[in-house]
Amino acid sequence: MTQMLPLTLTDVVVRRRGKRIIGPVTHRLEQGPPTIVIGPNGSGKTTLLRVIHGIERISTGQVNWTHDAPDQQAFVFQNPIVLRRTVAENLAYPLRLAGVDKAEIISRVTTWLARIGLDALANTAATRLSGGERQKLAIARALIRTPQVLFLDEPCANLDGHTTREIEALLSETATAGTRLIMATHNMGQARRLAGDVIFMLNGKIHESGAANYIMNTPQTSELKSFFQGDIVT
């Protein structure tokens, strides 16, 4: 398996209807522990993740993977998208797309159902799941092809503490197993628990970034300092 990372973004700008949504962004992502993207609402976190994943058209600039492999990436959206199928079929779907053989599909789906605690709901329509169950399903479905890079957009927004803890545990294991996580979050505690490094977005730009233990303790810019204190940053 060829390494996709490092990844470089060079002067990336996204414009929509004449308005600059993000950029210019220049950044380099190495193989390593999770990158957590933080920043106020509307600062461009979602757009940045989508750009890196390759599902958002960029207006100028470049995104360069060392080795670009779309099927080695997966994205978990803020509002989990579930297919109008059973829970098990949702998990099987990416494997079917990839032409994985039937026995292998059954074995992987069974493993993942158990791992996210939804085995009893395997044959239930996924649209009937609760918010937390849907999010776990979406994460498992993203991980079922063992991607090299996993993007998550505020995966625990609106979830209760118990489910958040389950998801964080799953994400830690995933990162330890070698999947590169790039995750936007609003939850500073979560950022602290998972982050290897942090990107602080403000007004569509990377305002500050660096190793988590450094940046979280000694933010260099006044805006990040205020953001950590819970002030309104603009």
Ligand X SMILES: Nc1ncnc2c1ncn2[C@@H]1O[C@H](COP(=O)(O)OP(=O)(O)O)[C@@H](O)[C@H]1O
What does the binding site for other proteins look like in residue numbers (CB under 8 A)? 53, 55, 70-71, 74-75, 77, 81, 83-86, 88-89, 92-94, 97, 109, 122-125
77 or 228: whose CB is closer to other proteins? Answer: 77
Rounded to the nearest whole angstrom, what is the least distance from the CB of residue 49 to Mg ion in the complex? 8
Q: Are 75 and 141 in contact (CB under 8 A)?
A: no
Which residue do the tokens 């993942």 mark? 112
> Which residues, 6 or more positions from 196, have their beta carbon under 8 angstroms from its beta carbon?
32, 33, 34, 35, 211, 212
- Does 44 engage in binding with ligand X (CB under 6 A)? yes
Closer of 75 and 200 to other proteins (Cβ): 75
Shortest separation between residue 45's beta carbon and ligand X, angstroms: 3
* The only residue of 35, 43, 46, 148 in contact with Mg ion, by rule CB under 5 A: 46
For the chain, report the end-to-end CA distance as a whole number of angstroms.
43
Q: What is the pattern of x (binds ligand X, CB under 6 A) and - over residues 18-37?
A: ---x----------------
Please give the single-letter amino acid code of residue 191.
A
Class of residue 217 by CB neighbours under 10 A (exposed 0-12, middle 13-18, buried 19+): exposed
* HSE toward the beta carbon, residue 123, CA cutoff 13 A: 0
Which pair of structure tokens corresponds to residue 208? 């500050």
With CB cut-offs between 5 and 8 Å by kind, which of Mg ion, ligand X, other proteins, none does residue 44 bind? ligand X
Distances (CA, A) of 48 to 79, 108, 118, 126: 17, 31, 32, 29
Select the residue whose beta carbon is closest to Mg ion and give its number. Answer: 46
Residue 25 vs 144, nearer CB to Mg ion: 25
Q: Residues interacting with ligand X, by CB under 6 A?
A: 16, 21, 39, 41-47
Q: Residues interacting with Mg ion, by CB under 5 A?
A: 46
